[in-house]
Structure 1
Amino acid sequence: MFIYNAFFQPNFKDYPVYLTKFKQCLSKAMQLIKSHTVNTLQNLTGQLSKRDPLGAPNADNAFTLYYVKFRAAAPKVRRLIEQVEQRSEKIPEYHQLLEEIHQCYLDQREVLLSPSINSTITDLTSQNNKDHCALVRSGCAFMVHVCQDEHQLYNEFFSKPTSKLDELLEKLCLSLYDVLRPLIIHVVHLETLSELCSILKNEMLEDHVQNNVVQLAAFDAVVKQMLEDVQERLVYRTHIYIQTDIIGYKPAPGDLAYPDKLEMMEKIAQSLKEEQMKLNSSNSFSDVQLEESENKKLISSDTRLQSSVSPADLHGMWYPTVRRTLVCLSKLYRCIDRTVFQGLSQEALSACIQSLLHASDIIQKNKTQIDGQLFLIKHLLIMREQIAPFHADFAIKEISLDLKRTRDAAFKILNPKAVPNFFRLNSHNAILEFLLEGTPEIKEHYIDSKKDVDRHLKLSCESFIQQQTLMFVGNLDQFLSRVGALKTMAVQGGPTYNLSQQPWAQPAKINDVVMSTYRVLKNKLPSTLQSMTLYLANKDTEFILFKPVRNNIQQAFQKLHALLQEEYSGEDLQIIACPSMEQINLLLSVK
């Protein structure tokens, strides 16, 4: 009662004396609590250190011993620690005592755990020295268990959290990071780096950390730092890969063996289809349906799959730079930030397009023009189709300096005669104009690699349509152009003309033009359509691409028919013997 009055009533007569005695008792009690708790923790550490659990049969036994002993001792000090925690928010001395107990506990845990963790990480490294992905997966899984177990053990002793626990765990996790980082920065394969990103991002951060944010806060910070290192390495290696394996790719003769490789694959697919048809026909005459084995079912289904897919659509038949570009983008898409992916995709797609243009030129020189054009069209279609699932903006913003105004202002200073007299005052005005108006302009422009693919695809299709039109009705178009020029001259006041009197427009001459055009159509149209089927392997695409060519051919003959009806007699028409539109349409209807 006296102590109570002394503490809460400063006007009490013996207040200073009793307050002093109270503080002495409080200090002694807290010292006893601290001594008992510290001695208990230190004795545990000493006992476990003498046992040398690292010499146990395996690491699991060592860690089990660490946690079992501490959990068994927790109830002995838990009640005292609870008393301290209850008073820590109101009395500064208790708060200081609680911090000292925290520090002692964490120091003892660090003494025990650090050697064992380092030893375990060393063992994992030696076991997986050639498999970085397995090492990262096993090392991170080990640290996840350490963090979870340490939080659970901490809760056996304390009821209030402390930030120092996460500081200790982050320090322990950094021991794993210090071992893995030198290995990560020397990985050269994109497949390995992308898999490491997937492990850290999906398995560790999304699967583990998001489901246990509190216990894995320290692990989260270290894994994010490790993920940033892997992503940085991945971006660096991707730049090198684009330069060496896409831009610097030197095609082998087999890479450019078009259309030979497609024809060979087509023959193989056709032979497999014929064998399957023979097999089906032989089975149809059987009275008893025998049950197929699992292996036979797999073989027959695989044969049907191969026969149903065109060689041009097989992944292995793609031009190597296209395959490498798309595989590279697929690995990057889920591994790096969206903005970084956009920049790398623009660089990779631009490099791939240039490699396709180069390959197309070589094929046109070695084979035919149509082979080079269809090769380019097919692969640009593949690129456009394959990048569509990437839900990303393929446009990047580039900033450049426009020095035109600076150049013009400097030119006026160096060459004042170029300035009109009414603007030419003195040299000071020119210098002033240079300072005021000669500043460079900052210009922004966007580069969209997806639109770049579409643009090259459009140009290649237009080139194909123009070339095919020229091959089929080039002579006929040339004749119609001469007729048009002659009519234009007459309309503009030139001499009147009689087309049938022109040497180059005699019925016999026109017959030669018409017959040669018709022979070209009849002889070369099937091979053109066959090439389109071989390369494009899609009826809708073939129809869309050939439709403008067919329209151009029809329009040319329609113009010719209208001209002949207008300028020539019935006898001349018999000499010219121009095929009817029904014949032309029938010839073009092969498609």
Structure 2
Amino acid sequence: MGRSRRDSLVRDIASHPATAETQSIVGLLDDSYLFDKLKTLSLAVENSEDLQTVSDSGSQIDDNESEPVSSVNGSKTDKYSYYNAYLDQLNTKIDEYKVVLDQTRQVNDQLNGSIERFHKIAQDTGVFIDETKTIHEKQSKLSHLSESIPRTLHYFEALDPIMRRLNHATSPAIVKKGSFTSMLATIDESLHFLDENSQFKDAAAYRIKFKQCLIRACELVSHFLQNLLKQTNQEILDKTKNKNSLSGLPSSTRDAFLYSKFSTIAETFKSQASEIVKRVNDKAYYRYHDELNSILHECFNHYFQTRLKLLTPVIWTHIDDIIVKDKDLDLVKFIQDGKAYFQQLCTDEYKLFVEFFPEKECRFKINQWFLQLCEPLYDSIRIRVLKETDISTLCDSVTLFAPYYEFEEGSEEYLRQFTDIQYDKLFEPIVHKVQARLILRVQIYVQQNILSYKPSRDVFMISNRRKNPKANSNDGDKRTTNAKNGSDPLLDSYLSSLKTRNILSISDDDADEKYINSEETTDRITQLQTYYPPLLKTLALLSKIYEMINSVVFDDMAHHIVHDCIISLRKAYDMVIRSSAGKSDINNLDVSLAYLKNLLMLRDSIQNFNIQYTVNETYLDFSGVEGFFKSLKENGRNVLKKTNSSTILTLARELVPKVVNNMVDARTELISELRNVIKDFTEKTSLELIDDTLDISNGEDLSSRNLKLRENIKARLPRIYEQILNYIDDQDIVVNLLDAVQELITQSYSKYYENISEMAENGELGKDQIADVMYLDVFADFFAKEVAEILKNDGTNTQTR
């Protein structure tokens, strides 16, 4: 059986002919015969020749190789000696490698055993570490506990010596010692510790005791500060007892006692007061805030009382001097002098106060005390304000405090303005009192000069007639005489301010133009004096109190003032209309135009005040009570006899006053009044122009009446236009009035034309009469042309002038 070449050297060489391994057997390939055989085998393998042939050849070769070769000269033995030697070396190496491999397996087994032992050691080590870690933690905890016990006991053990020291403290001067400050620090530490560690046994009881020690220590500080103030105050009084009081001393000496002498104790006082202030503002002491704050208030109150006792005589002496000096002067000067003195006084007191107390934490308290310090000023001004009746003076008094109320409270500008002293709060009682008095005087002024005004019958007939300067001149003289007899300072001031504003608005570019404008300004003031007097007083009053009082209060007052002015105007208008009944329509037109002129003046003027017109009014309605007494007066006891038990409750409900909430809008009222007077004017003007030309019942010929209508429009419309111009300066309003008149007359003519057309169709009128009447479109065009011609002529005349 032939040997397989699967693992033979020949097969290996044949399959890898070009590898580097062939270089290691160079000596073997020196045999040319063997080399040729191997090359043949290699080619046979590469060319995929018949495997059996190769196998046979290999077997033959093997057989030949296995046969003993003997030769006389030994050439055959030498031929395979290298090969045999190589095989022997291979076998030897194989045996050696087997030995090495066995040894490697033994080493590997030993390593695996070592790894298993090391793994077991690691497990044992982990268990050991866990056990030692637990022990270490217990040891650390116990060590920390042993170290903290003395420190913790220190917070508890400090209680007894502190309580003994505080209980045996006989003098408040103990607070000056350094040990007292250390004791306060120890109390703070203990309280903080007990607040953070409430789990300790009896921690709550110890905390309460330490709190008592804290309160007791702060009380000792407070008593020390009070004694310090009393001692200083007594020293000042002892030095001035021979001179009655500080008020009799010269100002320099008085200031030395009031401030320089007092400042000598400021450093000591502030160092102790800061201890209380610090604990009052400590958030950790929120539980004890009430007790600590009470102690601090005692310090504040004693300080303020001491200062007030020293300052009161000086303050009243100065106020008496102001009263004597300003006895004959007005309220404004009195308030101004008092304000300047107390402003300086508060500034000096603030500077002194911040030397005694921490400024940031305590400035709010000094601002509260300033209200008490300024009570003499409030009382003296209150008396003068109650005697003041002049509205202008009251307004000027409010203006003195305007700089303090420019910014909204809490804004950045406000905080920058009132960093130290809050002057707005300081003078607020004075402003409120003056404003209250101003409101009262305004109400009285409205009642006396607007509601109670008694107009004459010609109040609207004295008009601004541009073509009658003599009438204007005489009217101005009359008003000048009336002003001298009983002038209204408020109205005079208003007219003067209007004149000043007009003069200041004149351009300086042209002197002639300035002169003309000056004449126009004077003429404008003269024109203003032709308005309804209560109207001018209303505008003067509104312009004076504008921004003098709270905006909400002003809106409410302005609403009522405008409402009362409208009522006064309406009463005067109704009275003049009744008195002019039966007179010419021209006079009635003058009255309506004058009324319209005043309403327009009111509307245009109040737009500058930014008034919120709508006001909610709440009042009691006693109409039920009034009706009951009226019926009782008329029917006597019969009313009571007829009432039974079922109607008693109904009667009782009717007698109960009702609360009425009414929303009133003065602006709506003014607009409604304007619409009414415009409607009244257009109706009167239409009647003036139409006359009886559209009266169908009249037997006159239609064409002649139509001609008369055109003549009336041509003749009377320019006169009415001039009449309107005498009262209305606004050209737009004039045009609107003419348009309203045109629309109303056109509507009337339209109805007239429809009626006559219908009568002609029914045979009541002849169609030849209708033919001579203008069509509606023709009439509307005719009226529009007349209006346009009037406006064109007036524009040309205006440019010529």
Give the Cα separation in 1 of the matches to 2:353 and 2:262: 10
Partner of 2:617: 397
2:451–2:565 contact (8 Å) kept in structure 1:
yes
How many angstroms does 1:320 deviate by?
Answer: 1.4
Match 2:403 to one of 203, 214, 230? 203
Distance 1:343-1:79 versus aligned 2 partners, 3 A rule: closer
How many angstroms does 1:362 deviate by?
Answer: 3.5
Give the Cα separation in 2 of the matches to 1:197 and 1:228: 9
Partner of 2:36: none
Give the Cα separation in 2 of the matches to 1:111 and 1:415: 71
Match 2:674 to one of 428, 450, 457? 457
Give the Cα separation in 2 of the matches to 1:9 and 1:228: 58
Q: For 1:133, what is the secondary structure of its paired residue?
A: helix
Partner of 2:335: 136
Partner of 2:442: 238
Partner of 2:173: 29
Partner of 1:325: 538
Give the Cα separation in 1 of the matches to 2:599 and 2:404: 38
Give the Cα separation in 2 of the matches to 1:93 and 1:429: 65
Q: For 2:669, what is the secondary structure of its paired residue?
A: helix
Partner of 2:379: 178
TM-score by length of 1: 0.71
Check if 1:378 corresponds to 2:597: yes
How many angstroms does 1:454 deviate by?
Answer: 1.7
Distance 1:443-1:518 versus aligned 2 partners, 3 A rule: same
TM-score by length of 2: 0.54
Give the Cα separation in 1 of the matches to 2:318 and 2:472: 55
1:346–1:396 contact (8 Å) kept in structure 2:
no
How many angstroms does 1:237 deviate by?
Answer: 1.8
Q: For 1:475, what is the secondary structure of its paired residue?
A: coil
2:247–2:314 contact (8 Å) kept in structure 1:
yes
Give the Cα separation in 2 of the matches to 1:170 and 1:518: 80
2:682–2:744 contact (8 Å) kept in structure 1:
no
Q: How does 1:169-318 map to 2 (within 5 A)?
A: 169-200=370-401, 202-206=402-406, 210-211=414-415, 215-216=420-421, 223-251=427-455, 256=460, 258-259=462-463, 263=467, 297=510, 300-301=513-514, 303-304=516-517, 307=520, 311=524, 314-318=527-531
Give the % identical residues.
19
Match 1:478 to one of 665, 681, 695? 695
Give the Cα separation in 2 of the matches to 1:123 and 1:391: 43
Q: For 1:300, what is the secondary structure of its paired residue?
A: helix
Distance 1:81-1:444 versus aligned 2 partners, 3 A rule: closer
Partner of 2:729: 537
Q: For 2:353, what is the secondary structure of its paired residue?
A: helix
Q: How does 1:425-444 map to 2 (within 5 A)?
A: 443-444=660-661
**Range 245-254 or range 545-554, more displaced:** 245-254
Partner of 1:278: none
Give the Cα separation in 1 of the matches to 2:230 and 2:639: 88
Partner of 1:495: none
1:174–1:222 contact (8 Å) kept in structure 2:
no
Pick 1 or 2: higher relative contact order, CA cutoff 8 A, min separation 6: 1
Matched to 1:463, the amino acid is: D
Match 1:119 to one of 297, 317, 330? 317
Give the Cα separation in 1 of the matches to 2:294 and 2:686: 92
2:332–2:396 contact (8 Å) kept in structure 1:
yes
Distance 1:118-1:259 versus aligned 2 partners, 3 A rule: same
Based on CA coordinates, which of the two structures has the bigger radius of gyration?
2
Give the Cα separation in 2 of the matches to 1:552 and 1:96: 82
Distance 1:305-1:171 versus aligned 2 partners, 3 A rule: same
**Range 98-107 or range 142-151, more displaced:** 98-107
1:197–1:227 contact (8 Å) kept in structure 2:
yes
How many angstroms does 1:229 deviate by?
Answer: 2.5
Check if 1:149 corresponds to 2:334: no
RMSD: 5.0
Q: For 2:336, what is the secondary structure of its paired residue?
A: helix
User: Deviation string for 1:325-363 (max 9, x for gaps)?
Assistant: 122233344344556545544443343224323444438
* Structure 1 runs not aligned, ≥5 long: 270-293, 419-425, 483-503
Check if 1:362 corresponds to 2:576: yes
Partner of 1:283: none
Q: For 1:258, what is the secondary structure of its paired residue?
A: coil
Q: For 2:675, what is the secondary structure of its paired residue?
A: helix
**Range 140-149 or range 82-91, more displaced:** 82-91
Give the Cα separation in 2 of the matches to 1:254 and 1:60: 69
Give the Cα separation in 1 of the matches to 2:445 and 2:772: 66
How many angstroms does 1:118 deviate by?
Answer: 1.8
Q: For 2:693, what is the secondary structure of its paired residue?
A: helix
